[in-house]
Amino acid sequence: MENSLDKGNGLELSGECQACLDRIVRSNRDVILLSILWERPMCGYDLIKEIFSRYNVFLSQGTVYPILYSLEEEGILRAEFNKGNMRSKSYSITPEGKKFTEEKFEGFAKALEYSLNFFRR
């Protein structure tokens, strides 16, 4: 069964390629969560849905929420209850968290580039 993900890059992912993407997403959950929250604030449930939509990788609440709570404790994220819904919090990157997030993205991109250099021929 082939899975097709197209976010404007024309890539078709299936089999080992999708399995590799799954490992990358799971191993770098904090970077993935921050990259989505960089775009706009979201609640945890919407983050899980967005990751599935983008990467075809399902992360459970038990793996997402501890990261969100930890980033909130560190002052990187701010959590606010959504208007009219005291059960759902919306997470956003704090002004202090922006610098941390930029450094995290830069480090992640450099690590990926470094790794990819071994595969280029």
118 pLDDT band, cuts 50/70/90, is confident
15 pLDDT band, cuts 50/70/90, is confident
Q: pLDDT for 76-97, tens place per residue?
A: 999 998 777 777 899 999 999 9
Q: What domains are defined for the chain? A: 29-114 (1.10.10.10)
Q: What is the pTM of this model?
A: 0.82
Helix (H, G, I), strand (E, B) or coil at 85: strand
Contact between 64 and 33 under an 8 Å Cβ cutoff? The reply is yes
Strands 85-93 and 77-82: antiparallel
H/E element holding 86? strand 85-93
pLDDT of residue 64: 97
Q: pLDDT exceeding 90 applies to what percent of the chain?
A: 71
Give the phi and the psi of residue 81 in degrees, each rounded to 5.
-65, 140
